[in-house]
């Protein structure tokens, strides 16, 4: 089976979001004031956990929708608790699961335009997925993981990689 745009995106996003769900559950289980975790960051000018999770969600739903040529669902960034973040993660996964492989496959050359700050950036679907969305997705997922590990949450590399 040759490599497909669907397999190189949607299942990877779903798996990453499952990691985030598990990591957030472990953090919640510590029964420490949730703000401690949600506002924790690795450096003063890096985003805190709460925002990292929102960006993981945004990267996944944005990439999936753009490749499929459907409207990017808008989730307002209003979460203030683990429960709300878990809802957002679940909502993102549901959106991803509702996309059929046929909607995403064949999007290699689909023109993708992103508004970034004051400029527009143009990609093909393939360049967008491989050079932008996936590295970004893993960046924010790993940073969320790193914030939790740095703060003593009991998760491990096998939670990140899942069953192999």
The residues that touch a second copy, with contacts defined as CB under 8 A, are 1-5, 7-8, 11-12, 15-16, 42-43, 46, 108-109, 116, 121, 123, 126, 130-132, 134-136, 138-139, 142-143, 145-146, 149-150, 152, 157, 160-162, 164
Element holding 52 (H helix, E strand):
helix 49-68
Beta strands in 63-149 (DSSP E): 111-116, 119-124
* Least Cβ distance, residue 66 to a second copy (angstroms): 14
Sign of CA pseudo-dihedral 45, 40, 9, 86: negative
* Least Cβ distance, residue 92 to a second copy (angstroms): 18
Structure tokens belonging to residue 76: 């307002």
Measured CA to CA, the distance from residue 71 to residue 95 in angstroms comes to: 11
The smaller minimum CB distance to a second copy, of residues 71 and 109, is found at 109
* Least Cβ distance, residue 149 to a second copy (angstroms): 4
Measured CA to CA, the distance from residue 27 to residue 10 in angstroms comes to: 26
The smaller minimum CB distance to a second copy, of residues 5 and 53, is found at 5
């Amino acid at each position: 089976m040759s490599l497909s745009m669907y397999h190189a995106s949607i299942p990877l996003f779903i798996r990453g979001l499952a990691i985030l769900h598990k990591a957030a559950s472990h953090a919640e289980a510590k029964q420490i004031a949730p703000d401690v975790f949600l506002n924790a960051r690795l450096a003063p000018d890096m985003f805190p956990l709460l925002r990292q999770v929102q960006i993981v969600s945004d990267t996944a739903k944005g990439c999936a929708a753009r490749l499929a040529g459907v409207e990017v669902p808008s989730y307002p960034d209003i979460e203030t608790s683990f429960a709300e973040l878990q809802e957002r993660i679940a909502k993102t996964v549901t959106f991803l699961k509702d996309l059929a492989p046929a909607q995403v496959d064949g999007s290699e050359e689909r023109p993708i335009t992103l508004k970034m700050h004051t400029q527009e950036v143009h990609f093909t679907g393939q360049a967008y997925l491989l050079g932008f969305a996936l590295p970004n997705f893993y960046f924010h997922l790993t940073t969320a993981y790193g914030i939790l590990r740095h703060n003593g949450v009991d998760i491990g590399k096998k939670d990140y990689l899942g069953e192999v």
